[in-house]
Amino acid sequence: MPNRVRYAPSPTGFLHIGNARTALFNYLFARKTGGQMIVRIEDTDTERNVDTGIENQLSMLKWLGIDWDESIDRPGDYGPYRQLERLDIYQAIAQQLMDQGHAYKCYCTKEELEAEKAAQIARGEDKYHYSRKCLHAPEQDKPYAIRFLVPENQTYTFHDLVKGEVTFKSEDIGDWVMVKQNGIPTYNFACAVDDHFMEITHVLRGEDHITNTPRQMMIYHALGWDVPTYGHMTLIVNQHGKKLSKRDGDIIQFIEQYKNLGYAPEALFNFIALLGFSPGEQELLTPAELIEVFSAEKLSNHPATFDPQKLQFINHQTLKNLDLETFKTYTKPHLEAAGLITDQDEAWVDSLLEVFQERTTYGQEIVPLTESFLNAPFEWDEEMRTLMQEEGVKVLLQTFKDGLDPHHFDPVTLKAWIKESGQKTGAKGKMLFMPLRIATTASMHGPELPKLMHLLGFETILERLEKSLQWVVSS
């Protein structure tokens, strides 16, 4: 039988970095081992469910490049794939557990449970366990929950793929609710039942789920089911070593935000894969390469630090190596939204993007990069003024201006004319390129000067050269 893993999102929110990592590691494991990946919708928290939560989860997974073998959009032999459509399964298993003496009805009200807990706290008890007052209660015509009867003096030990051997004691766990009074199963019960009937062989999930494992193992043991192999991935922390939280305002949390900012999905895929996984010396890897090198044994048991600069580096490397047409899909929409391109022809847009592709970290960044070039006032600072007073600058600017031809104003011709202007005037190196750059772009640094001149156009360059010459002559 092939390995079967599952990613089980709740529609209580949109896909964020933590959930995306869980899905990605399950995907890598399934594809590396020739197994199958299932996406199961755990929608039993009806009060917190968001209308577009699942749509966002699935669409953002697909955008990242993660696919699956079975789910609500790809039915297989193990459905339904929404927990609310599996209530009859949970009800039958809950009844079986009660019939076998592993579970019982609890008629306690919320107020009674709160009073019981308060009394235990008042007595100085350090952990709250249900008192089992309903364990042998007679049948009553009132709402009830169903609790699992935790065995006494039992240990639950499993080999975790990340953490090694892990043990829990039953004495640390009180009789827990399997089914709420409204008939909806709790997470641990539904999860264990679904994993069994969907024949899940490996459960890869976040470290915050590790304390759920013994409760799920209790269900398996009580029913004589095989326990899957577990692997609990370490926490993702911020650069201060604190658990990544939605309150970390300096870290973008949701995958859709990265898409809207113009990040490349393969770069985000690469970065997320490195959050708790070490592929070796080479870290810039394609999805196919990551599948090839992935191994659950390489999952780290140390917290994974979310480094925004590392993500930007990976995305920068990805963007600058794209062909121009693909790069345009990440950047042109942002230029249009900012009103920086309107009626320019496509060749001019291509030239603009080509000039700034090397410098673009993410798609939306093309806006400030090009805006400072296209719309910044033509003004010199003190350092520029000092350099423009150097001997030979006037002759260079005049020579270059006089040789410009509006009919031959392409980057190749301009590059050749810059070189020839230097030969004619004796200017070279810094004193050739820097005065021409300042005189045409009011900047001392930037992309290739001939390409910038071409983008600004003949009329603008001529006007700026004349203005620069007037200043040089009068200074």
pLDDT tens digits, 287-323: 999 999 999 989 999 999 999 999 999 999 999 999 9
pLDDT for the residue numbered 375 = 85
Written as six digits, the tokens of 441 are 């772009």
Per-residue confidence (pLDDT) for residue 58, from 0 to 100: 96
Closest CA to 7 of 76, 60, 70, 63: 70
Q: How many angstroms separate the CA atoms of 406 and 335, rounded?
A: 27
The answer to whether residue 246 scores a pLDDT higher than 80 is no
Q: How confident is the model at residue 373 (pLDDT cuts 50, 70, 90)?
A: confident
Structure tokens at 117: 């807990």
pLDDT value of residue 265: 98
pLDDT at residue 70 tops 90: yes
CA-to-CA distance for 306 and 110, rounded, in angstroms? 40
Give the per-residue pLDDT at 49: 86
Question: What's the sign of the alpha-carbon dihedral 90, 96, 102, 103?
Answer: positive
Q: Please state the rounded mean pLDDT for residues 364-388.
A: 92
Higher-confidence position of 50 and 212: 212
Q: Scanning the structure block, which residue is given the tokens 């970390």?
A: 248
Burial of residue 103 (number of CB atoms within 10 Å: 0-12, 13-18, 19+) = buried
Q: What integer pLDDT is reported at residue 412 of this predicted model?
A: 94
| Chain position carrying tokens 């766990």 | 173
Kindly state the tokens that stand for 108.
Answer: 């306690």
Question: Cα-flanking dihedrals φ and ψ of residue 43, to 5°?
Answer: -105, 30
* Pairing between β-strand 304-305 and β-strand 236-237 as defined by DSSP bridges: parallel
Q: Are 148 and 103 in contact (CB under 8 A)?
A: yes
DSSP-derived 3-state class of residue 227: coil
Q: Which residues are catalytic?
A: 246
End-to-end CA distance of the chain: 84
**Chain centroid offset of residue 68 CA:** 18
Cα 400 from Cα 422, distance rounded (Å):
9
Ranges of H-type helices in 338-388: 346-356, 366-374, 382-388
Q: What does the mean pLDDT of the chain come to?
A: 95
Q: By 3-state DSSP, what share of the chain in percent is helix, strand and coil, each rounded to 5?
A: 50, 10, 40
> Beta strand 229-233 with 202-206: parallel, antiparallel or unpaired?
parallel
pLDDT digits (tens, 9 = 90+) for 147-195: 999 999 999 999 999 999 999 999 999 999 999 999 999 999 999 999 9
User: What stretch of H or E contains 174?
Assistant: none
Binning pLDDT at 50, 70 and 90, where does residue 343 land?
confident
Identify the CA nearest to 151 among candidates 217, 230, 80: 217
Reply yes or no on whether the pLDDT at 410 is more than 80: yes
Alpha-carbon span 25 to 275, nearest angstrom: 10
pLDDT number for residue 48: 86
pLDDT level of residue 239 (50, 70, 90 thresholds): confident
Q: For residues 293 and 282, give the distance between their C-alpha atoms in angstroms, rounded to a whole number.
A: 11
Of the candidates 422, 459, 460, which has an alpha carbon nearest to the alpha carbon of residue 441? 460
Burial category of 101 from C-beta neighbours within 10 Å (exposed 0-12, middle 13-18, buried 19 and up): exposed
Model pLDDT, residue 249:
76
Q: What percent of the chain has pLDDT over 70?
A: 100
What pLDDT, on a 0 to 100 scale, did the predictor assign at position 1?
82
| Cβ atoms of 104 and 134 closer than 8 Å | yes
pLDDT over 90 percentage in the chain:
87
pLDDT at residue 245, rounded to an integer: 79
Distance CA(102)–CA(466), nearest Å, equals 92
Give residue 186's identity as a one-letter amino acid code. T
Which of the pair, 447 or 199, is modelled with greater confidence? 199
Region 325-334: mean pLDDT is: 97
Residue 424 confidence (pLDDT): 94
Average of pLDDT values for 206-228? Answer: 97
